[in-house]
Amino acid sequence: MSQVRGKNTKSEETDRKYLFSKDFRYRKNDMRYPGTLDILLTKYRTTIFIDGCF
């Protein structure tokens, strides 16, 4: 279990690449807000939580 990463997982990377290719700008793993935000779209006031299997 110590090898399980909480940030920058493979599913997060593929989602970020897709969003960036569609010209969405985002913040990743933002600590200013409560919880563990995976992707934060500040322009649209939207957060994305990604549940990945390990």
Q: What is the pLDDT of residue 20?
A: 94
Q: What is the pLDDT of residue 40?
A: 93
Q: What is the pLDDT of residue 32?
A: 87
Whether this model's pTM surpasses 0.85: no
Q: What is the pLDDT of residue 4?
A: 65
Q: Is 38 exposed, middle or buried (0-12, 13-18, 19+ CB in 10 A)?
A: buried
Residue type, 26: Y
8: left (phi over 0), alpha (psi -120 to 50) or beta: left
pLDDT per residue as tens, the chain (54 positions) = 666 667 778 888 899 999 999 999 999 888 888 887 889 999 999 999 888 665
